[in-house]
Amino acid sequence: MSYKVDHEYDYLFKVVLIGDSGVGKSNILSRFTRNEFCLESKSTIGVEFATRTLQVEGKTVKAQIWDTAGQERYRAITSAYYRGAVGALLVYDITKRQTFDNVQRWLRELRDHADSNIVIMMAGNKSDLNHLRAVSTEDAQSLAEKEGLSFLETSALEAYNVEKAFQTILFDIYHIISKKALATQEASSTSVPHGTTINVSNMSSNTGNKACCSN
């Protein structure tokens, strides 16, 4: 969104929160964006939205996060929001095996609707309920390796690893983007005809709203 140059940030990254219903997506979002956890939260209907700005390697990065309803039938609405997303936090509940078994189906959803090089972090949420654990960390780790995902166990309730999960996603996206930017710069500098002034300040402001990462 917002193609306009905004001096509040250098980059704008769209991230989607997905995973089965009841795994804690909305509370992960409220923990990350407002440092709040709500025990009496309602189930999400449709999509919700929040942002947070943070620093990644000296750059100001704004994360624009879309929280989606988890129930399968809602994908009719929510899958449209995968488009343009450069990151995804795929959440399951460590106390509910089914929500972990469904990770594959969510990955398929992303493959069908999202950008092919979207950065995906898998989060096993509710790690505070360790005594009710139904998914071992090892199982999750091996799935993450097999699918090439980052992985963390989180607890929105205890504010454990939520920050880190998002930071990792944003860091990874930033690295992909900055590599691409470098490649583009090199490519363009070789093709620039003699006598053309390369306006560096323009270029740096453009990085803030690249089509690939900002919408």
Partner 1 sequence: MEKKRIDDYEPGPLPSPRALDRFGFFKQDVSASDSSVKNRSAYEYERIRGERSVRKWRKMIGVGGSDWKHYVRRKPHVVKRRIRKGIPDCLRGLVWQLISGSRDLLLMNPGVYEQLVIYETSTSELDIIRDISRTFPSHVFFRQRHGPGQRSLYNVLKAYSVFDRNVGYVQGMGFLAGLLLLYMSEEDAFWLLVALLKGAVHAPMEGLYLAGLPLVQQYLSQFEQLVREHLPKLGEHFSEEMINPSMYASQWFITVFSYSFPFHLALRIWDVFLYEGVKIVFKVGLALLMYCHDDLVKLPFEKLLHALKNFPEDAMNPDTILPLAYSIKISKRLEELTQEYEKNGKVVQSEEHLEKH
Q: Which residue ranges make up the site for partner 1 (CB under 8 A)? A: 1-2, 4, 21-22, 39-49, 51, 64, 69, 71, 73-74, 76-77, 80-81, 83-84, 95-96, 129, 132, 157, 215
Q: Tell me, what amino acid is at 69?
A: A
Of 40 and 138, which has the nearer Cβ to partner 1? 40
Of 1 and 198, which has the nearer Cβ to partner 1? 1
The DSSP-derived string for the chain is: ---S--TT-SEEEEEEEE-STTSSHHHHHHHHHHS---TTPPPP-SEEEEEEEEEETTEEEEEEEEEE--SGGGHHHHGGGGTT-SEEEEEEETT-HHHHHTHHHHHHHHHHHS-TT-EEEEEEE-GGGGGG--S-HHHHHHHHHHHT-EEEE-BTTTTBSHHHHHHHHHHHHHHHHHHHHHHHHHHHHHHPPTTPPP-HHHHHHHGGG-HHHH-
Minimum Å gap between C-beta 42 and partner 1 is 5
Minimum Å gap between C-beta 53 and partner 1 is 11
Torsion of CA 149, 155, 159, 163, to 10 degrees: 10
d(CA 138, CA 108): 22
Of 134 and 150, which has the nearer Cβ to partner 1? 134
Minimum Å gap between C-beta 199 and partner 1 is 26
Of 61 and 144, which has the nearer Cβ to partner 1? 61
Minimum Å gap between C-beta 91 and partner 1 is 15
Minimum Å gap between C-beta 84 and partner 1 is 5
Minimum Å gap between C-beta 181 and partner 1 is 21
Of 84 and 149, which has the nearer Cβ to partner 1? 84
Of 134 and 176, which has the nearer Cβ to partner 1? 134
Q: Tell me, what amino acid is at 166?
A: F
- The number of CA neighbours under 13 Å toward the Cβ of 125 is 28
